[in-house]
Chain A
Amino acid sequence: MNDRFSEAAEKGSTLLQSAGCEFAEIRFSSGVGTTISLSGDNVDSMTSGESLAGSVRVLKNGSWGFATFNDISSIERFFNSALTAASIASPDEKSRVARSEPVSAQFRTEPVEDINIITLDEKFELIKSYNKILQSSPKIQTTKAIYRDVNSRYLYMNSEGSRLSYEKMHCGISLTSVAKEGSIIQPFHESVSGYGGYEIVRGREELAEKVVKIAVDMLSAEPLEGGTYDVILDPRLSGVFIHEAFGHLSEADFIHENPRMKEQMALGREFGPAGFNVIDDGSITGLAGYIPFDDEGIYPQKTYLIKDGILTGRLHSRETADKMGETVTGNGRAIGVMRQPIVRMTNTYIDNGTQTKEELFDSLDDGLYAVDVIGGQTNLEMFTFTAGYGYKIKNGKPGKMFRDVILSGNVFNTLKSISMIADDCEMYGGLGGCGKGGQSPLPVSYGGPHILVKNVLIGGRK
């Protein structure tokens, strides 16, 4: 396969040199992966497969043409169909792209323990041992333990003369226990993944123990009553909170051609309290949202979205950066070469504040400590996110455990209700990811320190 890959790359490189359009890029990828999925006492599936994919994207007379294929040896044909597609329409309003200097570089994941030298038996035994822990209470009805690894090769080339390659090794596990008692069924789930080798998944017994313990504990937790609460979010939830309540809003493709949104998102607008900083940074190696370069051939960077409570930046693709007259940030991302890049987050987090976690708790006489995450969603005005579970806080002390903690708020106002920020930022990113424009899951990570948010609406029956 390597020979055909290189041969297609050489043909592609020649095509790009005489593309005859404003901008053109070719992306190729090949991958080999293993997935082992266990459930209860069963092997749900054990799969090893390979994939090969290519795409061409061209900008001609202000119109985008895009072709995708897996027969990479016919690159000339697909290059022409992308050019033809772009030529069909000649729009009045033209798309343009921000330019960049040509760059050439080769990147590769440096694993501590290469997954290729670990036998299938060993991977099977490891995930089996975690699955056993997930079953370790009589109250566990079923489990799901998934191991996944992928070795892939990615090549990006464009008409500016850039040529970037990335040999990627990605590995992760996803662990779920479902506890049951009478008619109550409570699942709990944890996942870790990252770019690296087998070291990412080895020694995760504690994680599995946590999953089974919380699933069982949640059987006796009561659903939280709906209403307005002062809430301390743990680092993982504060990460999901910033991803949903603000991160998507900072993606410039929601803004760049909408005058009202531009006004709403004018740089300099006050979004949160003093001392509140939000950052997106795709250059942090190891994290799930790490990219050596984005899918438009731009290097990632550390972008301050909010600095000291003030809106200071946003995330761009080449097209949105050009349109808004701002600089590219390296956030043009696609879930695979078969999809077009759109503006996406990478590793997004709330930076550390100056207070301690203890100070946050001490300040709260009556409220809620919301922990862990099930998911979140936004429509760019309102957002919701679901905590794994929570504890009522009285006089600074966590008490009774509650389930069904679903928080909701307004993207423009809720950040202003952040009243305290601790100094214990942590980052998270599992085997799942973020969804947008039908592209899901895109690997991202998110995180933050413990934060205290006032007056949060929580759904539930009275």
Chain B
Amino acid sequence: MDRILESIPGKYRWFDAVHVAGRSTPLSFRNNRLHSLSESESSGFGFRINRDGRTGFSYTNDSQRKAGAVERAYSMAPYGDPENFTLPSDTTLDFEPYDPAIDSFSVKDEIEAAEKFISDMKAAFPEISIDMGISASSGVMRLMNSEGVDLSYRDSYYSVSASCVLVMDNGVRIDTWEGKSDLRPVDYSEFKEILIEKIKRAQVQEKIATGLYPVILPPQAFSRFAGIIASGLNGISVWKGVSPFAGKLGERIFSDKFTLADDPLIEGSPYKIPFDAEGVNVSRKELIKDGVIQRFITDLKYAERLGTEPSGNASRGFSSLPSPSFTGVTVEPGSSSFKDMIAGIERGIVAEQFIGLGQSNTLTGDFSASLDLAFLVENGEIKGRVKDCMMSGNIIDLLKGDVHFSSERERKGSILMPYTMFPAVSITV
């Protein structure tokens, strides 16, 4: 801190600095065998300074050149936009997103578990090819500012993913995966059953004609669509006027069953944070409640621009300026179970994976994507795979209309979502 103060060449209104450092141990299995083991160490320093209301920024990851970054940030400040917010001084640290169990990560045990996983999968499908990534990391994030904040917290992160490829005799390719992340090493043996069932089903091909069908999106798949909605709730796109929700605070836009929140405190999530990257304290916030737009996510800059309280959503790496982003996205569950949803469908689709989703004009909610992995539902039962067709529509319109959420939810990474059913979605063959 003292060294930073010494390096500042002249007068300033405020400054803040982040210092991040971390270590990780990623293991990689390719084509059913251990391919590589890595050790990774990295650190970086980012510095932001406000002179006469304008802000400059610079960074370095060379620990001997922090003073240079401070000087560069200072000299760039006059190019910045006027910014009149102040930095927080009341930042509190209630917990660390860290579990000491991360230290129990054992490379040997992980290799053994992964080899067992692969051999079990091979027993089910001798021709299968599996890639796995397993990683444990821990680090420290330190935030300092001119208002007296100097806090640091440890973080830990464990992730595992298993990706299976089975190429059938007719050239049809089944490519599917499961993954999870946590604050500490966790068991993932349940992936086996899930993957085996998906692959078995996918080996049977079903036919479907162009038309409108009920479509169920499992939590992971739905999160990609919820992400399109979430980007419209970002203060940046609201302020720029490119969000379909700009100027619609308090308006009912969606079905009253739809409640979406930003939650930086999701239990077990390695993405949870005690305060945001500018030191603003965080909490769970409903952004859409019963279909009505409640608020948008902001950092200090966009809170000032939009004339609201900062929502505690500033996010930054050491090499970038803070910017509003989601720390966790949750959608409230509904009343019926996934099983009951399926049971109620005469002819429909469960769509798990897409190709090309998000390459449409997502600003307006449009989508059109090829079905990568999807299953036919017939007379209340999940059947084989439907492929070579595209699903199109507008996610805002779909969530306005008749939509059903399951009673159960799953956490995948930083999202917590139910299964979601839309009664009529366009499928083109």
Contact = CB atoms under 8 A, between A and B. Distances in A.
Given A226-B428, A404-B366, A462-B428, A49 B355 contact: no
Interface string B35-77: 1111111111000000000001111111101001100100010
Interface residues of A, number: 85
A185 B390 contact: no
A67, A70, A95, A256, most chain B CB atoms within 10 A: A70
Contacts of B68: 50
A63 B145 CA distance: 46
B391 A459 contact: yes
A340 interface: yes
A39 B65 CA distance: 31
A14 interface: no
A329 B79 CA distance: 46
A385 interface: yes
B237 to A, nearest CB: 9
Contact of B428 (A93, A180, A223, A459): A459
A91 interface: yes
A382 B76 contact: no
Contacts of A457: 388, 390, 428-429
A386 B357 CA distance: 10
B107 A88 contact: yes
A177 to B, nearest CB: 11
B356 interface: yes
Contacts of B36: 63-66, 85, 340
Interface in A226-264: 226-227, 253, 256-261, 264
A40 interface: yes
Interface in B219-242: 240-242
B58 A461 contact: no
Contact of B363 (A1, A185, A258): A185
Given A382-B355, A386-B360, A406-B368, A67 B241 contact: no
B356 A183 contact: no
B43 to A, nearest CB: 7
Contacts of A43: 79-81
Interface string A83-118: 011101101110100000000000000000000000
B127 interface: yes
Interface string B373-390: 000000000000001101
Interface string B80-112: 110000000000000000000000000110010
Given A48-B72, A65-B36, A459-B369, A385 B356 contact: yes
Contacts of A169: none
Interface in B369-423: 369-370, 372, 387-388, 390-393
Contacts of B249: none
A67 B361 contact: no
B224 to A, nearest CB: 13
B369 A264 contact: no
B244 interface: yes
A152 interface: no
Contacts of A158: none
A7 B124 CA distance: 54
A82 B36 CA distance: 10
Contacts of A48: 58, 72, 76
Contacts of B38: 65-68, 85, 340
B245 to A, nearest CB: 11
A234 B326 CA distance: 38
A85 B428 contact: no
Contacts of A178: 240, 242, 363
B41 A71 contact: yes
Nearest to A406: B368
B336 interface: no
B60, B111, B175, B370, most chain A CB atoms within 10 A: B370
Given A93-B33, A124-B79, A260-B127, A381 B359 contact: no
Nearest to A403: B361
A354 B167 CA distance: 37
Contacts of B319: 47, 49, 51
A51 B60 contact: yes
A64 B35 contact: yes
B321 A47 contact: yes
B221 to A, nearest CB: 15
A91 B33 contact: yes
A39 B320 CA distance: 17
B256 to A, nearest CB: 22
A252 to B, nearest CB: 12
Contacts of A259: 127
Contacts of B244: 183, 185
A404 B361 contact: yes
Contact of B356 (A47, A386, A410): A386
A258 B34 CA distance: 15
B356 A376 contact: yes
Contacts of B57: 45-47
A184, A185, A462, most chain B CB atoms within 10 A: A185
A180 B65 CA distance: 45
Interface in B109-126: 111
Interface of B: 30-44, 56-63, 65, 68-69, 72, 76, 79-81, 107-108, 111, 127, 129, 165, 167-169, 171-173, 175, 210, 240-242, 244, 319-321, 355-356, 359-361, 363-364, 366, 368-370, 372, 387-388, 390-393, 426, 428-429
9 contacts: A45-B57, A47-B58, A47-B59, A47-B319, A50-B59, A184-B364, A186-B361, A226-B390, A264-B171
Given A88-B107, A185-B361, A408-B370, 6 more contacts: A66-B38, A84-B39, A86-B37, A460-B368, A460-B392, A460-B428
